[in-house]
Chains A and B, each alone.
Chain A
Amino acid sequence: MLEMNNQYNQIRAKVLKQFFDGTLEQNADKIPFYIIPKSRVPNRCCIYKERAMIRYRIMAMLGINIETDDDEMKSLSEYVKEVLLEDKPPVPILTTISTACSACPPDRYLISDACRGCFARPCLANCPKDCISFINGKAHIDESRCIRCGKCEGVCPFHAVVHIPVPCEQACPVDAVKKNEEGYVEIDYKKCISCGRCAASCPFGAIVERSGLIAVVKMLKAKEHVTAMIAPAIEGQFPGTLAQIKSALLASGFSSVVEVSQGAETTSVHEAQELMSRKENKLGYMTTSCCPAYMEMVDKHVPFLSEKRSSALSPMGYTALWCKEQNAGTKTVFIGPCLAKKVEAARMKSVDGVMTFGEFASLFLAKGIDVREMEGSDLGDTSLFEDCREFALSSGVASSVLRRLENPQDVEVLSIDGIDKKMFRAMKIWEKRAPEAALIEVMCCGGGCISGPGTVVKPSVAKRLRGGNKAAAPVKAMREPITRR
């Protein structure tokens, strides 16, 4: 969904540029016309609808809850005026644009023209509900009896069975995304764990995150002392080394930069100790507690796990406390790949703002900062927590904890690499049958934080650019596999 992401970047960069120039209130209503000019060939029905969607995206960027606070009579500049006067915490962080929603028909299986009406009829033989019949020599599914098990799709030798999913519903691990009576998307916030998968999955862009960006840039513009806390996943998201990213942050107005890996070190030490004491007291398995979407999931869906998760704060939590200890007057802003972190931050007094990498990238675009051209800044002594940069990858948290144990070989580890519907069901069973492991690392996003919804580059690119200073010269790192050929 390259084009959609680029559009977000463009909108955010435009809004930020106007904000720093002090002309946002005046020009906000013109931005949709800049982004969607008359000459554009529209992807939606017409340019006018596309412009209306840009308006909604700008509203989401301002942190407005579109479901409840959308007033079509109100101009964007009126919204801007309100937002500039007062910050409201953007919770719940997801909101839906019902006019963008295509009201996809319910999830179903269809027999396509590729059906040859064969003699063996494996679809018929394998259907547990006997809902396949043959009409005019071709298979036909009786919708009223189909339970959407997908068995027929798997056995057809001609691939004639097609599965037509509802992307948002399929992506949600906890069934919080539903359709209302008119067929448009609706999120059940009592169930939602703020993982952001639905927003990333919708090809129409009908689910958007409410941004906390304006609150952060307001701090920057007012020249307050703002500390940027950069998540371990940042490496590989921008074309440059960590040292260059630090310089770019300082250039864009932040007063100081702290790596969250530092707090991750504290988290690992704490979890290692807790793991040992649980083992001595025979309290069974322990899960990690750094993934905020998993924490939400425990609170809302699987409360029995609340005593199984470690009591350690997340790396962001420890880092923020440390920053406030160093300088009580500083404002702390977490910069990471995660949407659920905004929910965690809204509960914590020590974190004043959260930005995603995508939003951060727009800040660079608005200010015309090129990370690659920056002189690197001194990162200080990172030897103590360098290995904790692995927190961003699946199984990285567990290995950081193990490294802080005396006898790591005695600890059985289970890595939950991404929570989907199936994994969610499996985790519910833990109440009756404990998993055979002492330490369970839970990552809501498959692959770890580098696959988070707020990232800039594909996880496979990020993985290649991480470690050492590869991102400073992406060319060489990329070319290795070719020379071997």
Chain B
Amino acid sequence: MAKREKVAVKICVGTACFVQGGADLLLYDEFLDPIVLAHCEIEGVSCLGKCKEADSKESAPFVQVGDIIHGDMTEEKFCRLVTEAVHA
């Protein structure tokens, strides 16, 4: 893989996301492929604001991969989205 910019991944650790499963995503170094991990910049961030949107169809926990915010995050979904973003 050619050297290029790392994919920015933001895990919401606002209280609502944190207590509804976001905290478990912070163990990403245990379940994410190390090669994929090397190509992204993962950080925990304050509330992304998505949970406060009344018409949002998705619910916590939220994670932003690149420019898109995804909801209803699980470990599997997280791995899939991050891997796709890295290989894109």
Contacts and interface: CB of A to CB of B under 8 A. Distances in A.
Chain A interface mostly? helix
Nearest to B34: A485
Given A2-B24, A2-B74, A475-B43, A372 B15 contact: yes
A272 B43 CA distance: 44
A364 interface: yes
B47 A373 contact: yes
A482 B59 CA distance: 29
A369 B37 contact: no
Interface string A11-25: 000000000000000
B44 A475 contact: yes
Contact of B27 (A9, A371, A460, A475): A460
Contacts of A2: 21, 24, 74
Contacts of B18: 238-239, 372, 456-457
Contacts of B19: 9, 238, 358, 361, 364-365, 456-457
B21 A5 contact: yes
Interface string A352-389: 00000010010011000111110000000000000000
Contacts of A10: 20, 59
B13 interface: yes
Interface residues of B, number: 27
Contact of B44 (A5, A358, A474): A474
Interface residue tally on A, bucketed by range: 20 to 34
Contacts of A479: 42
Given A239-B13, A456-B23, A373 B44 contact: no
A370 B16 contact: yes
A6 B74 CA distance: 11
Given A460-B27, A478-B26, A372 B20 contact: no
8 contacts: A5-B20, A238-B18, A361-B15, A456-B19, A461-B26, A464-B26, A475-B44, A478-B27
Interface of B: 13-16, 18-21, 23-24, 26-30, 34, 37-38, 42-47, 59-60, 74
Given A238-B18, A248-B15, A461-B24, 16 more contacts: A2-B21, A2-B24, A6-B60, A9-B19, A239-B15, A361-B15, A365-B19, A371-B15, A372-B14, A373-B46, A456-B19, A474-B13, A474-B26, A475-B42, A475-B45, A482-B37
